[in-house]
A and B are shown apart, each in its own frame.
Chain A
């Protein structure tokens, strides 16, 4: 027969201020822990959702990103006629020859310049990316100096909003539409007519070719054939994989940083928990003696105090998670190192992060509470009862 759990809870309740202070210290640590995980999750989600698994991206060999890549027109024509390319409802191949460059735009806030991806697209480009829909305005007319901007560009960059103009390549380009791309990387892009943009930038070659596979399982054989074809100098990647690679450097950095911070911070929180639990034990020497005299075993005392510490940790975890859940309202925009271009993503909370955070807080409570709990359970009954 152990000591009822309510004993542990009520002990925490009795010292409300101390409990609150310790729990909030732990809460701050859990907050940092969860926020870092959420940030990495948000980044990956944004980039992974950007691609779809049936789409294939073709880039020049060894080019890490679309911006560095170039595919000659003759090769593009050859790639267009491959049997693996799916055919759309209109009988045209579902393949888009796109040109991707960076332009330097100033932010609305703070006037700081940043690199923005501008993508020259064909009508097929939209069919290949079903997640994108026009939010306001209209599509650009082909053959005119018109562009559409992703939501996050429209909001954050000068000249990106509906009806405004952006100047590059010796022309003014009017923004005639704003598109919504959900939480994908396309929200941080500007789209215009591929031929117009190639003219403006004096580009002879496309940057990348994107197409839908007729049969998703045929990818490996297609890749092997295309990459060994002596007429072609391209490599094929599934679109999902391409965007995952783009997020790798950044996620790695965020993960390492987050883990280092969490380790350092948790030292402080564990110390806080240890102090609190030691004090709880010291204050209750007589009580512990009484419990032992009533016949409760050492084991029960030990577990009662461990439960108390665990509960303290979980309180902190709950507080931290509660605060961290509000971070979902925040969008961070930064330069993605893989492509040197602006990317906006937000903190994303999911069940696995909740679970990890609570586990982490419980472990902190446990580590902090173990020593004091042992001390409590090892007390000599007579001496404990004598103590005042």
Chain B
């Protein structure tokens, strides 16, 4: 109890220095948490992908199509409950920086495969019945101020021309992680236009989405589908939606790894700063420590005193940082909504933030503690610091 009081009193001897260090630790811990969350978001798309959905695409790479005639043959594979298909359209809304994903899909089966895209029954039917209809996610509609009934024009990059759609519905995600920045329209609308202008590219799809009856059937089904089209002109590659997303993520992994390294670096920087603070504090109080030893305090007491102060400063900073994480994350979610679908900090990250703060306290306390505890009385008293 006495020691605790002593430590707290020591904290307030150099108010400015302690406050600065606490703020430094708080900022570092906050940055660490946000960076971790950012990396987590990168992988979120794959985390939430379903394992009862498979994606079939051309084995060479995504830019090659598959003939629509594969549809019935895939349907016949045992274990398959439903099949949908579509194309990555890659259209641009007004200018290139307004990037969002847009697909041409077979609406009825696609919406059945994706129950997490929640639409009212009326809007769903309107969309299915209108060949020029499209639906968008709530977030996208909010970004561009679209309302049901609006005309949306996309400029095709892969399929040249200006494409006009009527907004028939706005869906919202069933879960927080559901992508709400999509635009979906009718594949048949795309196909008919393509048939007129580029007959050679008609009746081709970019991917098939396969719903399997049970997740454990996924490996069998994907093997069956791929072997069916082996040695044909368009060989297929079928994998779970999760693996498909991961493939994309893996390609940009280098940047994520860099961000992860940097998130540890920020902790390293603050460690150096905190160690510096503690080294100074201990140096100033060498005379005091010698006095305490003279009074009969043991090395252990002194160690506890110095170490306690170091840990107290860091933990205080850590708690502040954790507390600041919530409002900042909320701000990011509100202000940067078009970049991050959601920005929620996981429990694990918060715990890691605290752990990081604690380790800063421990590491920065080691050297001064050792020096303070092993001080020779006569030397300490002689020293004028």
Contacts and interface: CB of A to CB of B under 8 A. Distances in A.
Chain A CB count within 10 A is highest, among B63, B248, B253, for B63
A265 B61 CA distance: 41
Contacts of A276: 276, 280
A333 interface: yes
A260 to B, nearest CB: 9
B233 interface: yes
B366 to A, nearest CB: 13
B21 A271 contact: yes
Nearest to A100: B63
Interface stretch (B48-56, B72-80, B266-274, B298-306): B266-274
Contacts of B284: 279
B20 interface: yes
B255 interface: yes
Interface in B125-160: 155-158, 160
Contacts of A268: 24, 27-28, 266, 269-270, 273
A28 interface: yes
B166 interface: no
A21 B64 contact: no
A275 B248 CA distance: 46
A94 B247 CA distance: 39
A188 B360 CA distance: 42
Contacts of B28: 264, 268
B160 A61 contact: yes
B90 interface: yes
Nearest to B274: A272
Contacts of B262: 32, 261
A380 interface: no
B275 interface: yes
Interface size class of B (residues with CB under 8 A): 35 or more
A202 B233 contact: yes
B200 interface: yes
B228 interface: no
Contacts of A334: 251-255
Interface in A265-313: 265, 267-269, 271-272, 274-276, 278-279, 283
A67 B64 CA distance: 10
Contact of B62 (A22, A102, A267): A102
A29 interface: yes
Contacts of A22: 272-273, 276
Contact of B273 (A63, A112, A269): A269
B269 to A, nearest CB: 5
Given A257-B259, A268-B27, A271-B23, A114 B273 contact: no
A208 interface: no
Given A32-B262, A334-B251, A21 B17 contact: no
A62 interface: yes
B155 A62 contact: yes
A115 B269 contact: no
Nearest to A22: B276
A18 B284 CA distance: 13
Nearest to A61: B160
Contacts of A274: 20
A113 B31 CA distance: 32
Given A103-B60, A269-B273, A274-B20, A28 B157 contact: no
Contacts of A82: none
Contacts of A202: 233
B43 to A, nearest CB: 14
B302 to A, nearest CB: 20
B158 to A, nearest CB: 5
B92 A62 contact: yes
B262 to A, nearest CB: 6
A64 interface: yes
B251 A342 contact: yes
A157 to B, nearest CB: 13
A277 to B, nearest CB: 11
B69 interface: no
B96 A64 contact: yes
B217 interface: no
B269 A28 contact: yes
Interface string B169-191: 00000000000000000000000
Given A62-B155, A170-B231, A257-B259, A275 B265 contact: no
B229 to A, nearest CB: 12
A7 interface: no
B253 to A, nearest CB: 7
Interface string B225-239: 000000101010100
Given A68-B157, A233-B160, A275 B276 contact: yes
A340 interface: yes
Contact of A264 (B27, B59, B248, B255): B27
A348 interface: no
B61 A101 contact: yes
B63 A102 contact: yes
Interface in A168-198: 168-170
Contacts of B1: none
Contacts of B59: 104
A204 interface: yes
Given A103-B61, A115-B251, A268-B27, A275 B158 contact: no
Nearest to B257: A332
B293 to A, nearest CB: 22
B250 interface: yes
B273 A25 contact: yes
Nearest to B268: A28
Contacts of B30: 264
Interface of B: 16-17, 20-21, 23-24, 27-28, 30-31, 59-64, 90, 92, 96, 155-158, 160, 200, 231, 233, 235, 237, 247-248, 250-255, 258-259, 262, 265-266, 268-270, 272-273, 275-277, 279-280, 284, 384-385
6 contacts: A62-B156, A112-B247, A115-B251, A264-B30, A275-B277, A279-B280
Given A340-B62, A340-B63, 5 more contacts: A32-B262, A68-B90, A267-B23, A275-B17, A334-B251
